């Protein structure tokens, strides 16, 4: 009820802002559009700030809907969602102590030599603390905000209702499957014991890869609400942008190769493209992988469908791309022909990086702009109402996120060479 009241208060504030702005424009002799009144900078800030304060699923839904590269949300809504990639409000020390008392029992502090109550990171579902045990283990402790698990279903429903009320998404779009998946995914992410199992699974899969490093799970301190891992040092992955060209290229090639292995070998993917999930160790040159709450297993037929799309995209055959995209579910028989053509065109544009002979320069290309323009036009078309399958939705987010990172690092990568093991039958 309190969280619903917060959202109601946010909506009231937005409506109040609209009334004031509307009255001002009428006084100036202008006839404002409802959309323009709703999406003022002050209202965008009000929505994003309130969701960040609420944390939990309300903020996570915003993050899940944050689309940066050619995706199809209206730009104003994308702005709101993009703000939610910033840190959430963290727990005050007293609240943190209560949560840890409930999970570890009173007196838990006696097993630590140090425990920093100020988090080193704070996100939508939990915050991370640095600690050292009496036996000198250097740990990163992720602590879940209280009440997150209980609020997931109502938060998703309430945020979805607000988006509907805004009129930014046509009522013809059936987002029920995505909302159901968002709830399922969030319940999984809120189970830190399961995240620990995913972490261990990826550690085993990548144990022979000397370019990657993952934290080690500390099972005895892990509960459904607390995840204990070894602390792995590193800097934000974006700082690799300041490294020499060869190192930028190497790091990005490592991550693209990892994505290909997740898709075609493991059938198991960490689907959250947030840059904060990657760090870089300048001393060793290794890439640090963090946060496996959004890891997702998918059946082999999904990988096979993407393999077919890969071959079609590399061939450049529009007919083959159309067939492969239809099989994956990017459109169906009810999709208008011109909408299908737009989607096929977008896929063909995206594959130009993969067809390139030699290192592809992610910095000096307008592919992202082309996709953004086409995606915005498709998203703003009220007659386009198709929602892709959930697996495709999560994968496209991951693909787009890595493309953005490659662009940010100004990397040059021979993607076609990395694809060779997966296209040579």
Active site residues: 272
Q: How far apart are CA 286 and CA 213, in angstroms?
A: 7
Q: b/e per residue, 264-297, with b = 16+ CB within 10 A? A: bebebbbbbbbeebbbbeeeeebbbbbbbbbbbe
């Amino acid at each position: 009820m309190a969280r619903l009241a917060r959202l109601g208060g946010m909506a009231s504030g937005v409506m109040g802002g609209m009334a004031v702005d509307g009255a001002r424009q009428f006084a100036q002799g202008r006839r404002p559009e409802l959309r323009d009144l709703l999406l003022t900078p002050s209202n965008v800030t009000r929505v994003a700030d309130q969701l960040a304060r609420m944390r939990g699923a309300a903020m996570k839904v915003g993050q899940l809907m944050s689309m940066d590269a050619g995706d199809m949300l209206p730009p104003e809504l994308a702005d709101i969602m993009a703000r939610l990639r910033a840190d959430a409000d963290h727990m005050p020390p007293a609240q943190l102590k209560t949560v840890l008392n409930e999970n570890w029992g009173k007196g838990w502090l006696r097993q630590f030599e140090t425990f920093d109550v100020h988090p080193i990171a704070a996100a939508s579902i939990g915050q991370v603390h640095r600690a050292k045990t009496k036996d000198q283990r250097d740990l990163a402790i992720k602590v879940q905000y209280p009440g997150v698990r209980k609020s997931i279903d109502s938060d998703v429903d309430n945020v979805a209702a607000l988006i509907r009320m805004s009129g930014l998404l046509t009522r013809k779009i059936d987002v029920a499957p995505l909302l159901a998946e968002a709830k399922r995914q969030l319940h999984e992410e809120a189970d830190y014991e399961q995240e620990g199992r995913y972490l261990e699974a990826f550690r085993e899969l990548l144990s022979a890869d000397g370019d990657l490093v993952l934290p080690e799970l500390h099972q005895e301190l892990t509960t459904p609400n607390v995840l204990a891992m070894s602390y792995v040092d590193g800097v934000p992955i974006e700082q690799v942008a300041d490294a020499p060209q060869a190192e930028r290229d190497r790091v990005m090639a490592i991550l693209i190769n990892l994505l290909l292995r997740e898709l075609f070998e493991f059938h198991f993917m960490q689907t959250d493209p947030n840059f904060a999930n990657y760090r870089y160790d300048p001393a060793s040159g290794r890439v640090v992988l963090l946060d496996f709450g959004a890891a997702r297993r998918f059946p082999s037929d999904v990988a096979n469908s993407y393999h077919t799309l890969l071959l079609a995209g590399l061939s450049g055959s529009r007919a083959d791309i159309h067939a492969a995209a239809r099989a994956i579910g990017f459109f169906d028989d009810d999709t208008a022909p011109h909408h299908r053509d737009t989607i096929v065109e977008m896929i063909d544009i995206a594959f130009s990086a993969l067809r390139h002979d030699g290192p592809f320069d992610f910095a000096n290309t307008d592919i992202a702009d082309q996709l953004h323009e086409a995606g915005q036009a498709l998203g703003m078309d009220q007659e386009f109402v198709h929602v892709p399958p959930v697996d495709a939705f999560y994968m496209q987010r991951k693909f787009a996120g890595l493309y953005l990172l490659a662009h940010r690092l100004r990397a040059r990568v021979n993607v076609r060479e990395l694809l060779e093991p997966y296209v040579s039958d």
